[in-house]
Each structure stands twice: as C-alpha cells, then as structure tokens.
Chain A
Amino acid sequence: DGGITQSPKYLFRKEGQNVTLSCEQNLNHDAMYWYRQDPGQGLRLIYYSQIVNDFQKGDIAEGYSVSREKKESFPLTVTSAQKNPTAFYLCASSVGLADTQYFGPGTRLTVL
C-alpha cells in the first residue's frame, strides 16, 4: 500500500523534554511538509522540504527542527523551546511543491 505514515498516533511528554515525530512516505514524492493544527484553527506550516537534504522554515518554525536525510522520511523534533507544543501535527507530501498535497493520519501531542 502506498501512503504516508505517522507514528505514534498519540504522544505524551513532560514539559521540557524534546520529542521527535515520525513521518514516512512510500509515494516517491520529493516534497514533504509539517503542519500544526490547533482546535478551531487552520493548518499552520512549520517546515517544508522540496528535496532531500534541503528544508525551509514555514510560518511557525521557532521551537521546531527537522531533517531530510532520506527521500522517504521527514522527522520533526519538537524542542523544549516550543512554548505551547500541545497540538495535532500533520505531515504531508506531494510530487513537487506545485502539486497536490496528501496528508498522513497525524500525531496528537500532549505535553503535560
């Protein structure tokens, strides 16, 4: 089955801890994205990557970091510097930046 997977579905962490969210795709897409969604809010772009070994900050990159060492993988680290990390995190991919985005099932992060 081709698609985008995110793990885990639910994640709980203590305040002050870094946490890494996984995103994997086997669609052979070049572009990948990370979004954050808060209740009643639209999707806000955290980081995106157009191609392997390249990534760019989105609108709300502060307190987050990413890597793109493989085409299939685009992990997101939520650092302790992120002031309000509790949210629903969505990963997406597309053939290229100009193409339709497809989303993974999301990870719901709760920081206690």
Chain B
Amino acid sequence: RKEVEQDPGPFNVPEGATVAFNCTYSNSASQSFFWYRQDCRKEPKLLMSVYSSGNEDGRFTAQLNRASQYISLLIRDSKLSDSATYLCVQRGGGSYIPTFGRGTSLIVHP
C-alpha cells in the first residue's frame, strides 16, 4: 500500500485561532478518506469522513483535492480541548485496508 504523509507538527496555536492541516497521499486510486483524532495515550476516534464535495461538521471542515492528491482539515475557533493528534487515513486503490498517516500534533494554548 502507498503511503500517507502528514506534517507531524506540533502546530501551536492560541485559543480562537483557525488552523489547517494537509495530508498528501500517493495512491491516485484511493477512494475513501478520513480524519481521526487521537488524544495522548488513547485510541483513535473517527472525527469525520472526507467526501469529494467536502464535509463540514461544526467548526471542522474537511476537503479533498484529487488533482493534487491531498486532503485537508480546517479547525475554526480552536478550543483547548482540540489539542490532540489528528490522523489522516486513506483507503482504496486495490485494498480495503486503510493506511494511516503518522499524525499531526495540535496544541491549543490559552
């Protein structure tokens, strides 16, 4: 399976800031994309799926750019509780098994 690449960060932002992460994937046949959130020493939890038309859930917006082969996650009005590692996941292109990125660390400070 092809790789998924993420900037490990950390992204250090103040409360209320808008922050965006990108994730690039190398398999052009990838079909499904997801963002998971992982708190320190905890399991990953699904944050949102990424659709071709984009996906918005409250303060979170995910976008897919197939031409440039990347997905993005935008977080508006950051909260302290948003501090976590965000994992990019892709699936497809010959396998149902998802490929996880190493994650991007976000630290939101007062």
Q: Which residues of A contact B (CB under 8 A)?
A: 33, 35, 40-43, 45, 48, 58-59, 88, 90, 97-98, 100-106, 108
Contact = CB atoms under 8 A, between A and B. Distances in A.
Contact of A40 (B8, B42, B87): B8
26 contacts: A33-B97, A40-B8, A40-B102, A41-B102, A42-B4, A42-B87, A42-B100, A42-B101, A42-B103, A43-B87, A43-B100, A45-B97, A58-B97, A59-B1, A90-B43, A90-B44, A97-B96, A97-B97, A98-B96, A100-B49, A101-B46, A102-B46, A103-B43, A105-B42, A106-B42, A106-B43
A105 B43 contact: yes
Nearest to B8: A40
Interface in B49-65: 49
A37 to B, nearest CB: 9
Interface size class of B (residues with CB under 8 A): 20 to 34
B87 A103 contact: no
A101 B44 CA distance: 10
B25 to A, nearest CB: 13
B34 interface: yes
Interface residue SS majority, chain B: loop
Contacts of A58: 97
A39 to B, nearest CB: 10
Contact of B46 (A43, A100, A105): A100
B98 interface: yes
A48 B97 contact: yes
A104 B97 contact: no
